[in-house]
Structures are given as structure tokens and as C-alpha cells.
Structure 1
Amino acid sequence: MSEPFLGEIRLFPFGYAPRGWAACDGQILQINTNQALYSLLGTTYGGNGTTTFALPDFRGRTSIHTSPNYPLGQSSGEAAHQLTINEMPAHSHQVHASSSAANAVSPQNNTWASSSNTYTPIASGSPSPLNSGAISITGNSNPHSNMQPYLSLNFCIAIYGIYPSRD
């Protein structure tokens, strides 16, 4: 393996950081003992910028290329998500019923009328409550997994290596 650039990130298929590398797990390092690496990373990934700085944290994350919308070091997204009403497609739970007496023991096609065009609006009076089994609240607002398919590998950053030139 050739000597890496200082700050280079590589993936390893084993569970530890090789000599000269550190796990990309957000750990805090001292600036005074890692000045060259600090000169590349600064406080992009954390730290106070006076005595400490942080390494990138790839735990539970995937990487994307930087852009004006996704600046270097920005972290976003969530592993689990709970849908809100604004995220659901528009739909209704309108119920149509007939004010006429039922004319079949078991309505065709499991509807509340035995033939078409038998639904009429209620003109006056108070509505009768439906059987609670007919319409009820469903769901329980639990978050669902929001993760794309993945394979866990060990992201490590070179803490020793060739200082990368800009050109």
C-alpha cells in the first residue's frame, strides 16, 4: 500500500484502524499534537478550534459529494422517521351512507347499500353513530426505518502521511 495523503479517508473490511490511521467516529483530537491534520480539517467536523478538533463521524452515515447545497462537513438525515400529516398523500375518509332502510341481509360487494345510487344526504337531525368496527383510527405513529440498503465497513482517516498540495 502506498503512503496515504494526510487526512485521506479509506474503507477497510476489518474492525480496527491500522497503524497511522484513526477511525472516523467523531473523536476529538488535540491540535498541539496533530497540527498538520488540523490545518486540513480545522473545526469542520467539530472541536473548539483553540485546543481541539474532531475527526469526521461516519457512524450510521453515508457520504455525498460537496455542493453549494451540501457544504463540506454538513451532516443531515435520520435513520428512522415518523411521517407527519403533511408528508402523506391527500386522501379522505369520507363515508357515504343511506338514510333508507337496508334492503339486503348482506349488501353486495361489501358496501352499505345493495344497489347503486341509493346514497342520499341527511337533510336534518343528528347523525347516528357508526359501529366502531366500521371506521376506526389505525396506525400507531411509530417511526419507520429510513435507511437505504447498506454494507457496514470501517471508515478510517490517515493521521500520518504526505501533506496534500493544492495543485
Structure 2
Amino acid sequence: MALADQHIFQDGEVIVAEDFNLMFDELYEHMVPSGAIIMWGGAVEDVPAGWLLCNGEDNTPDLRDRFIIGASEQYPPGVMGGEDKVALSVSELPSHSHSFTLAQDGPRVDIWGLGPGLGGLAQPLNSVAHGAANTSAVGSGEGHNNLPPYYALAYIQKQ
């Protein structure tokens, strides 16, 4: 008895287990379409029958270590992007300034500064003859991870 028969059961009607199981399986197939991707909270080695781990194998997308973003014109379905680490450019830094004072003591100028690289304490940075002064560079330009708090789940895809 197939689901397509659209059989309506009547009170007292009896159905054998085999027919019920076939109808249930067919109903299940229609409820969750092939290709649907869901989050799986179990162990990756315990993925249910009929589902595949989204690990890039068996025509599944590799969704390990990835966040999902809603598809749009800017992000068409199936497109992957993003970076594991980001190094900010000068144009991406917030506007800020570094303070220093000039203390004249005889023929030289002592430059004192405050800043995160100095632990917030005023310290002599440099001594120069009267005139120009420079501050030293800070930072290394290394990339950094910008990961929010997370809870890891596996993505699985219905065959």
C-alpha cells in the first residue's frame, strides 16, 4: 500500500505491520527531502543510516570548521568563503593617537610616552637633540582568530 494511494483508514480497520512500515518509510522520505542538511549532536561515527557527514566526501559540502550564512544574491547557495585568520590593515584600525611630552633639559629633549605598549606608565622613550621626535612601531602584523563563543555540532546531509 503506497502513500500515493491516499488511503484513509476507518475505525476498526486492520493494517499489517509490513504495510504500515512501508507507508511510514515513504512518508518519512517525503518529510525530509534528499539533500537536506541538519545539525547533528551525536558522534560523527554514529551518523544515522540514510545520512552522510558533510565532510566533502560522497558529494557533500565540507562544512567542518565552518559557520553557515543565509544564501542571498551576495552569497549564492553553495558558495564558500571567509578566512581562518585576519591581519588588519591600517585603514581597518580605529582612529587613535599616541601621546608623548617633550621635556627640555639642557641641550637635549627627553620624550616620554603613555600607551598600551608601555603598560600605561610614562617612561622615557628616546632622547634627541632639539627638533624632531619619533615614536617606535608596535605590533607585528600577524593574523589573529576572531572566533565568537561556540558549541560544535556536525552537519549531516540526507542521501
TM-score for the superposition, normalised by structure 1: 0.54
Q: How does 1:149-164 map to 2 (within 5 A)?
A: 149-159=149-159
Residue-pair matches, total: 113
Identity of aligned residues (%): 28
SS across alignment from 1:145: coil
Aligned counterparts of 1:67 and 1:57: Cα–Cα separation in 2: 20
Please point out which of 31, 37, 42 is paired with 1:14.
42
Please point out which of 56, 61, 78 is paired with 1:56.
61
SS across alignment from 1:25: coil
Q: Which has the higher strand share?
A: 2
Q: Show the counterpart of 1:23.
A: 53
Aligned counterparts of 2:139 and 2:78: Cα–Cα separation in 1: 37
| Change in CA separation of 1:85 and 1:71 when aligned onto 2, cut-off 3 Å | same
Aligned counterparts of 1:149 and 1:86: Cα–Cα separation in 2: 27
Q: Show the counterpart of 1:69.
A: 74
Larger RCO (CA under 8 A, 6+ residues apart): 1
- Give the partner amino acid of 1:23: L
CA drift of 1:90 comes to 2.8
SS across alignment from 1:97: strand
Please list every run of 5 or more consecutive structure 1 residues that lacks an aligned counterpart in the other structure. Answer: 30-53, 113-124, 160-167
CA drift of 1:99 comes to 4.3
> Which entry has the higher C-alpha Rg, 1 or 2?
2
Please list every run of 5 or more consecutive structure 2 residues that lacks an aligned counterpart in the other structure. Answer: 1-24, 113-120
CA drift of 1:70 comes to 1.3
